[in-house]
Structure 1
Amino acid sequence: MRTSNASRTVAKLNDYMDALANRGYFNGAVLVAEGNKILLRKGYGMANFEHDVPNTPQTKFRIGSLTKGFTAMAVLQLQEQGKLRIDDPIQIYIPDYPNGDIITIHHLLTNTSGIPDYPSFPNYWKETMRLYATIEQTIGSFKDKPLQFPPGEGFSYTSSSYILLGFIIEKTSGISYERYISEHICKPLNLVNTGCEDGRTLLKQFASGYSICKGIIPTEYVDMCLHVGAGVMYSTIDDLYLWDRALYRDDLIGKHVRDQLFGSMTSPVGSYGWVVTEQSINNKPRKRVWHNGTMNGFYVEFNRYTDEEIAIIVLSNINLTPIDIISQCLAKIVMGEDVAQPGAIQPLDTAPNTLEKYAGIYSTAEGNIDSLQADQLTEALDQLTIINTPRFAVGLFYDTFYRFGIDPRSTVVVTLEDNRLYLFMQKNKGAWFKYELIPVSQQTNTLNCVTAHIEEQLEFHTDPDGYLRLIHFDPAGNRIDAVKLTAEIN
């Protein structure tokens, strides 16, 4: 990249991220680099809102499933050392594991084992994630569950497989997973701000995680010991950039073994701990090696465009943040494609009582609930409106949906509180968020809104039959159409 072009790119990257941060759409840290040249390296917003501690490039974030790339590297190192083979059945290392004679390490690495994903179990959010567990106990929570498909005959993303890999790393190396990652990956690469979180060790400059329920709230507690091998790690944008550069070299494993990490774009299941796809940017196909990660209050994504040696690292400690869209926009800017910045918000003055008609339960699939009377709809909406933060955080609002026979998967709720509208809906990874709708313009039978905390648009309008509908657009341009439920259309 020529100096003049580089300067323009740096300015555009800064302008884009500053616009997001200034409008409250991003809170975290970002690093963008091309080869050995860092184009953007900056923290935004707060690492801790309670104590007004800002995010910086040195802030540590939970990185969730980015841990899987480190786990895969450790497995390939152990293969290179002759301590295991990728094609080994796991019964060699876990003799009593059901179907361990037909499930291989390769199946675990590629999410083709058929083992169900333990964080998706019904009691995970309310109970399991909050309790300390050894790696053996975590394995015990899913080992007797039936396989989703015969090993090697399907694909289903599952963190359970990487828990098993964490155990195999400990079994074959003779040391703990945490110690192995530290001694064989972090120390050789000088990743001084990367490691495994146990919740019982003081970590300086460590961000707190947050969610959204009307405003920013602390996330729910999770005992990180539950996620060894799958999501237990923390890092910084600086350390992840060092990790990126190391993946082009043979510092940790030889090239012939390293190539196994990234598989091939011709197979969706060929890579180990990473996803390899093709993405069109500026009218050109680009090889994209990437993974994202979530962990209570954190949402992160690491994109590597390996042909151009471009790294896009986006770490956020607010889990509503659309880091996938932000990452893609940053990549487009680096590769010369124009990206629109979020516009200024000019709230519309609304008189009291003019917003009442928009509050309600909206269905994306008409006829998805049993017949409800008007008073039942009112009661359901009232209960969803008065949800306090603790009940929201542990998912107790589901009781209201189920009590009235409402399918939450095809439901959007709009509440009115203190003359403010709030959108209550499912977002990334199936999590529910409640965030403000800000009216910005109004015409006959139409009200246009934008949202707080995330760059979205929503339109209310009355259709020719007199029913109130909403149209919701997320940052990716995905559209949701829903109709307000009334006693007449249930």
Structure 2
Amino acid sequence: MNRRQLITAAFPLVLSAHPAVAKALGGDAIVPPASSPASAGGIETIATAFLNSGHGVGLSVAAMRNGKLLLAEGYGIANLETNTPVNAASVFRAGSITKQFAAAAVMRLVEAGRLDLDALAAKYIPEMASTGPITVRMLLNQTSGLRNYSGREFAEQQKIDRTPKQMLDYILGQPELMNFSPGDRFEYSNSNYFLLGVMVERVGARPLQDTLGDLIRDAGLKQTAVDHASDIVPQRADGYALIDEKPGRFRKADYVSMDNAGGAGVLRSTPSDLVKWHQALFAGRVVKKRSLQQMLKTGTLNNGRPVLRDDSPIAQGKPAYGFGLEVGTFDGLQAIGHGGSVPGYTSYVVTFPRQRLSAAVMMNVDPNQQMPFAAILRTILAAGSTVPG
């Protein structure tokens, strides 16, 4: 993996030094399975080597198969000032993993007959009238052509608290707003999913936080919530960045107002919650089967070609991009997942459908080339195949 693959897979509100719910939820204590084969050696060895290399601060991993938790472990440090260790309940910002939650919220509105995937987005967000023929589906498939609002020039802007309407005006007020004509190609843009979050608010006539809260409760998640910098969050892992990209030298991550993230990356979570989310999503407990099929369906460009992503952090080759989910392969196995990052945090969640296995890894450091996502997934796959289920 090169740096571009890692960074563009995530949610970089800004990477200046690194180019690369209102109520805090305590959640239930997570007790790792005592007999977990994956936790006994392989993952600990991988995590320890990564942390000892000076490229990471803390790391948390979870795996679940058929609703049974196989692994929940933490390694390294959650807070360098207090030397608090990471454990299975440590909470991280999830970044762009939020996108699949936003997509599920959209599909619930579709199921209720309140939203049409092939309608123009301007039907629901009139301020988009000047952006051209962008449909809701194009926003979901990342083919709208809208310029990504969260590039490097957002360094100072990311610190400002904004209402959804103020953020909407900021996005639509960007110079050179369109990078290409709607539907002409795939281009990952956080603008698409922020706008979808606004759409969910307006069509649902309630705050995005409340709608996402419904999804979180229905999936049985205990430590996942819309995040705010002012929240007091038990077990929160602080975010860090390498100083001048030198191993072992860390600083606190750049401040970001989570109000600027919205449907693109506003959630915090734990690996245990993320694997539970995937198991619930793919079991049909979040959206209906037909809606899930839509979320996993490969998008289509204007020229009839499939919507493929060539900068995925984990999936090998060019995975298909659905609605906040990438459908591809990992070591020859079908893999459905998505990465996420905000300053100081990098995460990935993936499900292997035929193995009925979901895995998640979360770290409290900016993306870097040494992150051992692939090695951890291989260890989980090897261990999970030995567990009845």
Deviations 1:170-194 (A, max 9, x none): 0011110011110x20111221211
Contact preservation (8 Å) 1:208, 1:297: yes
Say if 1:209 and 1:310 are closer, same or farther in 2 by CA, change over 3 A: same
Say if 1:37 and 1:190 are closer, same or farther in 2 by CA, change over 3 A: closer
Deviations 1:189-226 (A, max 9, x none): 22121111122332221111001114111111111101
**Structure 2 residue 128 is the aligned partner of structure 1 residue 97:** yes
Report how far residue 85 of structure 1 moved. 1.0
Say if 1:202 and 1:53 are closer, same or farther in 2 by CA, change over 3 A: same
Amino acid at match of 1:273: G
**Structure 2 residue 297 is the aligned partner of structure 1 residue 240:** no
- Measured in 2, the distance between the counterparts of 1:243 and 1:329 equals 23
Report how far residue 252 of structure 1 moved. 2.0
- Measured in 2, the distance between the counterparts of 1:134 and 1:35 equals 40
Give the one of 371, 375, 381 matched to 1:329: 375
- Measured in 1, the distance between the counterparts of 2:65 and 2:48 equals 20
- Measured in 2, the distance between the counterparts of 1:43 and 1:257 equals 34
TM-score normalised to structure 1 length: 0.62
Contact preservation (8 Å) 1:90, 1:101: no
Report how far residue 10 of structure 1 moved. 4.9
Give the one of 229, 233, 253 matched to 2:287: 253
Report how far residue 273 of structure 1 moved. 0.5
- Which residue does 2:337 correspond to in 1? 290
Amino acid at match of 1:204: P
- Measured in 1, the distance between the counterparts of 2:268 and 2:37 equals 32
Say if 1:19 and 1:120 are closer, same or farther in 2 by CA, change over 3 A: closer
Q: Does the residue aligned with 1:304 lie in a helix, a strand or coil?
A: strand
Report how far residue 335 of structure 1 moved. 3.9
**Structure 2 residue 138 is the aligned partner of structure 1 residue 138:** no
- Measured in 2, the distance between the counterparts of 1:121 and 1:8 equals 39
Give the one of 337, 349, 365 matched to 1:302: 349
**Structure 2 residue 255 is the aligned partner of structure 1 residue 209:** no
Amino acid at match of 2:264: A
Amino acid at match of 1:134: T
Give the one of 92, 97, 111 matched to 2:142: 111
Contact preservation (8 Å) 1:32, 1:310: yes
**Structure 2 residue 161 is the aligned partner of structure 1 residue 161:** no
Structure richer in strand, relative to its length: 1
Contact preservation (8 Å) 1:195, 1:234: yes
- Measured in 2, the distance between the counterparts of 1:260 and 1:10 equals 39
Contact preservation (8 Å) 2:147, 2:178: yes
- Measured in 1, the distance between the counterparts of 2:38 and 2:120 equals 53
Amino acid at match of 1:289: I
- Measured in 1, the distance between the counterparts of 2:36 and 2:225 equals 33
**Structure 2 residue 362 is the aligned partner of structure 1 residue 315:** yes
Query: What RMSD in Å do the two structures reach over aligned CA positions?
Result: 2.3
* Runs of 4+ residues over 6 Å off in structure 1: none
Give the one of 43, 54, 60 matched to 1:29: 60
Contact preservation (8 Å) 2:341, 2:367: no
Gaps in structure 1 of 5+ consecutive residues: 338-490
Who wins on radius of gyration, i.e. which is larger? 1
Identity score, percent: 26
Amino acid at match of 1:55: V
Higher relative contact order, chain-length normalized (CA < 8 Å, sep 6+): 2
Say if 1:163 and 1:267 are closer, same or farther in 2 by CA, change over 3 A: closer
Structure richer in helix, relative to its length: 2
Give the one of 210, 224, 247 matched to 1:194: 224
Contact preservation (8 Å) 2:36, 2:71: no
Matches within 5 A, 1:44-443: 44-100=75-131, 102-120=133-151, 122=153, 124-125=154-155, 127-144=156-173, 145-182=176-213, 184-213=214-243, 214=246, 215-264=249-298, 267-268=307-308, 270-279=321-330, 281=331, 285-322=332-369, 326-336=372-382
Contact preservation (8 Å) 2:191, 2:264: yes
How many equivalent pairs are there? Answer: 325
Report how far residue 333 of structure 1 moved. 2.4
